[in-house]
Structure formats: structure tokens, C-alpha cells
């Protein structure tokens, strides 16, 4: 089962057709869009549907912004029971099961740190204390834009907020999918770039203790000649592309 998880930057806007064309060329079974915007015509959903990704679940941003998640698949998807019951940010997590493939997905879009806001820490506490324990004995992944990473590994310095929470997730037995398939590489590639061109890895996939090793995990820095990162690309994030073994 191939998953493409991609923060498309502010809903995609006029880039929507090019974004979907790039996704379709990767031939995924499951597409996870973060920074999705479920307003107006919701073009990304329509375009994916037209390409055969008709099984969709969405968590619309109640404020009408682009803090939503869209999961689209070419096979039936069922809602799972793990939910994030936060008054303002419950739409930032989506749990689904894919019966055909025998996998469960916990999709996440963690808020970025803001002055005097506890939203980021609260969601990370949900991930480590609720979602991860609920899914640890299942064939499951936690995947999406986690807006943090490990110091000196997913960034060159020590600026990330909630890096200790990510480490706590790993210490509990969950595995960094990229590290599973690149054991000899000391540093992963960046998945997001600032306007100044500084790179950070914010987009991750974590394997549950009960899940088998992934087949492959990559970050696409370029899609069919369209560069990613900076102002002129399809997005300021790279797509995360992961292949998972299916049972049987």
C-alpha cells in the first residue's frame, strides 16, 4: 500500500490541478492532504475524485481556513474510533481503517507554536498519551505534518518546540519510518523550507510497535520538473511517499 502525505500550503489554491497531477503520477493507494481547505468547490477533493480517489474523509476547519485534513483513497475507507476531542483543534486528527489493506492510519496536522498558545503541546500530549497507546498493538501508522522534529537531526540547531514529545513517542516503541529504511544515513532530508531557504523535517510517518517494517520511505524534492520549497514551487513542503507491506 502506497501513501502520499503532503502539506499543499494554504489549500493549494490555483496550484490544485498541478498538485493533483503530481500526486496521480506517483500512483498512490491513499492520499493524505494537510492544509486542506474544505470551502467553495473544494477543488482538491473534486480533482482527486475524478482520478479514482473517491473514498474520502475530511475534517473541515470550523473557521473555514486551511487547517483541515483530507484523506482520499482508491479503496473503501472506514472511520476509526480514536478522536481528538479538543474544542478548537479536534479537526486536526483523523483515524481511519483500510480493510482491503489491513492497515490503520492516524493522520495529524499539529498546530505550530504561537506565543501564549498551548495548542501545540496539547495535541502532542494527545498523540503520545491517547492516540499512540490506542494504536500501538495494531498495524498502524501516525502520519502527517507534526510541525516539529528532533534537535540536530531534523534541523541543524535546537529550535523545535515539542521535540521532547516526539522523542517520548519514539521511546515508547513507535519507529521513525524513514529511519527504518535508511539506517546508515545520519540525517534525513528536509521536508519544509522557510522563505530564507532553511530546511527542516516537519513531515513524518511513525510505525506502531506491532507494524512490520515499511518497504520504502522517501521525500520528493522535485515532481516532474516542479521544484518544491520556496515561493515558486507547488508547495513549501515535500510529499512524503511511503510503501507499506500488506498482510497475506
State the pLDDT confidence band at 225, using cuts at 50, 70 and 90.
low
How far apart CA 22 and CA 5 sit, in angstroms, is 12
Inform me whether the pLDDT recorded for 226 exceeds 80.
no
Residue 27 has a CB neighbour count (10 Å cut-off) of: 9
Helix, strand, or coil (residue 228): coil
Helix, strand, or coil (residue 35): strand
Provide CATH code, domain 2-243.
3.60.10.10
pLDDT at 38: 87
Q: Which of 119-133, 156-170, 174-188, 234-248 has the lowest mean pLDDT?
A: 234-248
Long-range contacts formed by 156-160: CB under 8 A, 24+ apart? 160/200
How far apart CA 67 and CA 134 sit, in angstroms, is 24
pTM: 0.95
State the pLDDT confidence band at 194, using cuts at 50, 70 and 90.
confident
Q: How far is CA 121 from CA 35, 64, 89, 162, 165, in A?
A: 19, 23, 12, 7, 8
Whether the Cβ atoms of residue 33 and residue 6 lie closer than 8 Å to each other: yes
Whether the Cβ atoms of residue 136 and residue 207 lie closer than 8 Å to each other: no
pLDDT tens, 51-65? 999 999 999 999 989
pLDDT at 233: 77
pLDDT at 186: 87
Inform me whether the pLDDT recorded for 227 exceeds 60.
no
State the pLDDT confidence band at 239, using cuts at 50, 70 and 90.
very high
Residue 233 has a CB neighbour count (10 Å cut-off) of: 18
Amino acid at each position: 500500500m502506497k501513501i502520499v502525505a503532503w502539506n499543499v500550503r494554504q489549500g493549494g489554491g490555483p496550484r490544485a490541478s498541478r498538485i493533483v497531477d503530481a500526486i496521480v503520477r506517483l500512483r498512490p493507494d491513499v492520499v493524505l492532504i494537510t492544509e486542506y481547505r474544505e470551502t467553495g468547490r473544494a477543488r482538491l477533493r473534486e480533482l482527486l475524485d475524478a482520478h479514482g480517489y473517491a473514498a474520502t474523509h475530511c475534517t473541515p476547519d470550523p473557521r473555514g481556513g486551511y487547517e483541515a485534513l483530507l484523506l482520499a483513497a482508491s479503496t473503501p475507507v472506514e472511520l476509526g474510533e480514536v478522536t481528538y476531542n479538543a474544542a478548537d483543534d479536534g479537526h486536526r486528527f483523523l483515524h481511519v481503517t483500510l480493510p482491503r489493506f489491513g492497515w490503520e492510519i492516524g493522520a495529524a496536522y499539529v498546530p505550530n507554536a504561537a506565543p501564549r498558545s498551548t495548542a501545540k503541546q496539547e495535541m502532542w500530549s494527545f498523540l503520545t498519551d491517547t492516540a499512540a497507546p490506542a494504536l500501538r498493538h495494531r498495524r498502524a501508522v501516525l502520519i502527517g505534518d507534526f510541525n516539529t522534529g528532533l534537535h540536530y537531526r531534523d534541523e541543524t540547531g535546537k529550535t523545535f518546540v515539542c521535540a521532547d514529545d516526539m522523542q517520548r513517542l519514539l521511546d515508547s516503541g513507535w519507529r521513525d519510518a524513514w529511519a527504518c529504511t535508511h539506517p546508515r544515513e545520519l540525517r534525513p532530508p528536509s521536508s519544509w523550507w522557510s522563505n530564507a531557504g532553511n530546511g527542516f523535517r516537519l513531515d513524518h510517518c511513525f510505525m506502531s510497535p506491532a507494524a512490520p517494517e515499511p518497504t520504502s520511505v522517501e521525500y520528493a524534492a522535485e515532481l516532474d520538473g516542479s521544484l518544491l520549497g520556496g515561493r515558486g514551487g507547488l508547495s513549501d513542503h515535500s510529499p512524503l511517499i511511503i510503501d507499506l507491506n500488506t498482510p497475506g
